Structure 1
Amino acid sequence: MNDTLRVRVSRIERLADGIKRFTLRRSDGLDLPAFDSGSHVVLHLDGGRFRNAYSLTSPLDDLGGYQICVRKEEASRGGSRFMHEDVREDDELHIGAPANLFGLHPGEGKHVLVAGGIGITPFLTHIQALARRDAAFELHYCFRNRAGAAALDTLPALVGPERLRLYESDAGTLLDVAALVAGQPADAHIYVCGPQPLNDAVVAAAKAAGWDAGRIHFEQFRNDVDATGGAFDVTLKKSGKTLHVGPDDTLLRVIEKAGIQVDCMCREGICGSCETVILDGVADHRDSYLSDDEKAAQKTMMLCVSRCKGSHLVLDL
C-alpha cells in the first residue's frame, strides 16, 4: 500500500437508515490532498481484501478531513458491510489519492443535477462548486422513502428551496424524466448518478431529445453484476506469471494478490480504468463500459468484473 495515505476514522455518524458518514483525517496530522467537486477516493479495507470507491462529500475548502457516506448494500461483496460492522472511531484505514470521473463541465449554461438514492453523494460537492461559480443549477433528488435518504436535513439550505425538487417513490411522487429534459434550455448540461435504471432513463431521454453527448454526464455507483463464475487460468505476458482464478474470486483480486498493481477506480466495471489488452483467449464481458461492438471484438477487457469463457486467458500485463 505504498501509494496510499494512512487515515484515522475520527467520527462515524448515522445519516439515515443503512447510511453512515465517516470523517477521515490523516494519521500524521497533515492536510489531505485538494480535490475537485465530484471526486472520490478508493478505500483499502481489511488489509487490502476490499477496495471500494466512495464520493467525497466534505467542504471543498476543508482539507483537514475527508467525509464519505457509505450505504450498507444488501448484496454487499464485503466492503460496505465491513465499513458498517467492523470499522470503529479511531481505526486506521488506507486511502488512495482523490480521482474524478464525474466532473462539472467548465462552460457556461445551466446544470441539471439528477440523483437517485445514495447517488446524491457526488452532488454534495458539485452544489458547493456551482454556488461558488454563481452558476444556474437545480437538483432533482429521487429516493424510496425519507427514512433512507441522506442529506434531506441539509439540502434545502445548501441548494435553496427554489432549486430543489424531491421525489419519494413510496409516496407516489415520481420524476418525469422526459418532461424534465424537454424543459431545459439549449445550453443545459444534465448530470445523473444513481441506480442503473435511472441513469439509463435520463441518458435515453436526453439522446431522444437530440442532446449532444457532450452535454450528458453520468456516474453509476453500482454495477449489479455477478463477477463470480467458472475457474480459469490467466497468463500475464509482461510479468511472466500464470495465475489461477477461482470461482469465487475475481481476476483483478488475483492479479493484485500476486503483487501486480493495476489502476481501478470503481471496481464495478463502470469507469474503464482497468481496461487491459487481451492477447489470447475469449473474455466473458460483464462490464457496463465497453460497447457491444467492443465486447464482440475481444481486444480488451475490464479486469474487475469480467472473466474467461474458456479455461485460459493471456493478457498484456
Structure 2
Amino acid sequence: MASHYEMFPAVVTRVEQLTPLIKRFTFKRQDGQNFPRFSGGSHIIVKMNEQLSNAYSLMSCTQDLSTYQVCVRKDVEGKGGSVFMHDQCNEGCEIQISEPKNLFPLAETGNKHILIAGGIGITPFLPQMDELAARGAEYELHYAYRSPEHAALLDELTQKHAGHVFSYVDSEGSMLNLDELISSQPKGTHVYVCGPKPMIDAVIDCCNKHRYRDEYIHWEQFASTVPEDGEAFTVVLAKSNQEIEVQSNQTILQAIETLNIDVECLCREGVCGTCETAILEGEAEHFDQYLSDAEKASQKSMMICVSRAKGKKLVLDL
C-alpha cells in the first residue's frame, strides 16, 4: 500500500494555550517553502515520531500558506498523540506534516449554511466561515461548550463574524435547541456538524426527522466510533500466509502489528486512508470516514485501523 499523503518536514514556531485543555500550534516548513493550498474543512496528519501520528483539522487562513495551524485538545485516555503534543511539543520541535485532504468540504451551492460545533469541533469552521463570508453566502455558527473557560476561539470568531455567531454555555444553562434551529431553516439549507459523537448523532437524527436530504447533511468526527463490545474474529493474511485472532478489544491493525508485519497507518482513526486494505473474502463492518457509502457497500476494501469483520472470518490482501 503506497502512502496517500506527501509529508513535509516542519517545525513548531508557536504554541498558545487557548483553554485549560486546548493548545493552538503553528507550523512552518523546514525548507522555508509554502505549504500546499487547502480549503476549509481540510485536515492534515501530524506525525510526531514513529509511534505517534494524529489527524487534525486545519484552522489557519487559506490565503496564508506560510504556516499551518491546528488546535489539539488534550485527552489523557486517548492514543497518546494529544498528550505528546501538549507535554512535549514546544516551539522549535521538529515534526512531519502531511499534505491536506478534505473529507468535510463546504457545499458549492445552497441557500444557507448552518455550522454546529461542540468543543474542539470548532476548528474546521474557522476557514469555512471565511470562505462563506468571501462568497457573500448566508451562514450561521452555533457553538456549544461546557463553560466559559472552554470557549476556544470565541472572541476571535465574534469579532471577525459579528452577527453570525451564536454560543451556548452548558454551565450557564444555555442549551442549543436543535429541533427549533433545524426545523426553522429555509429549503436548501446545508447543515454541518463537528463535535462529540452524541452531538453529531443528534444533529443527523434531527435533520432526518425534518426530511433533510442526505446531501444537505455534513459531519466530521476524528474520535473513534468503534463499539467497545465487538466480537472476536479471525483474519487470514493471504500474502503472508498467516492467520490471527482479533480480540474484542483489538483492532485488526493492532493484531497484525503483533506479528511484526509492516502496515502503514498515519491516523489510526479511519480518516487518512493509508491503511486501506483489499478484502478477498468476507465482509467488513465499516467505521471509517474515508470511504464513501458506495465504497463501503462494495466490500472491496476496508480501513483496518478501525473497521472490523461482520462475521467470524476475513481474508485480506496482506
The answer, yes or no, to whether TM exceeds 0.5 is yes
The alignment-based identity, stated in percent, is 44
Deviations 1:184-242 (A, max 9, x none): 111211111111111111111111111111111111232354679898774443x4463
Q: Which residue of 2 aligns with 1:118?
A: 120
Q: Which residue of 2 aligns with 1:210?
A: 211
Aligned residue among 104, 129, 132 for 2:131: 129
Q: Does 1:303 align with 2:304?
A: yes
Contact kept in structure 2, 1:193 and 1:221, CA below 8 Å = no
Residue 16 of structure 1 aligns to a residue whose secondary structure is coil
Aligned residue among 67, 70, 75 for 1:68: 70
Distance 1:209 1:233, change over 3 A: closer
Aligned partner letter, 1:46 = N
Structure 2 unaligned segments of length 5 or more: list them. none
Residues paired across the two proteins, number: 311
Q: Which residue of 1 aligns with 2:169?
A: 168
Aligned partner letter, 2:61 = P
Aligned residue among 68, 93, 96 for 2:95: 93
Counterpart Cα distance in 1 of 2:131 and 2:170: 29
Task: After TM superposition, list the pairs within 5 Å mapping 1:172-183 onto structure 2.
Answer: 172-183=173-184
Distance 1:91 1:213, change over 3 A: same
Deviations 1:107-149 (A, max 9, x none): 1411111001100000011011111111110110011111122
Counterpart Cα distance in 1 of 2:241 and 2:218: 39
Structure 1 unaligned segments of length 5 or more: list them. none
Counterpart Cα distance in 1 of 2:41 and 2:181: 22
Q: Does 1:40 align with 2:43?
A: yes
Aligned partner letter, 1:109 = N
Aligned residue among 148, 151, 170 for 2:150: 148
Q: Does 1:10 align with 2:23?
A: no
Taking structure 2 as the reference length, the TM-score comes to 0.84
Distance 1:288 1:39, change over 3 A: closer
Contact kept in structure 2, 1:17 and 1:149, CA below 8 Å = no
Aligned partner letter, 1:191 = Y
1:44 offset after TM fit, Å?
Answer: 1.5
Counterpart Cα distance in 2 of 1:203 and 1:124: 22
Deviates more, 1:192-201 or 1:97-106: 192-201
CA RMSD of aligned residues (A): 3.4
Residue 199 of structure 2 aligns to a residue whose secondary structure is helix
Q: Which residue of 2 aligns with 1:268?
A: 269
Contact kept in structure 2, 1:33 and 1:97, CA below 8 Å = yes
Residue 180 of structure 1 aligns to a residue whose secondary structure is helix
Deviates more, 1:72-81 or 1:31-40: 72-81
Aligned partner letter, 1:193 = C
Q: Which residue of 2 aligns with 1:157?
A: 159
Contact kept in structure 1, 2:224 and 2:306, CA below 8 Å = no
1:152 offset after TM fit, Å?
Answer: 1.6
Residue 73 of structure 1 aligns to a residue whose secondary structure is coil
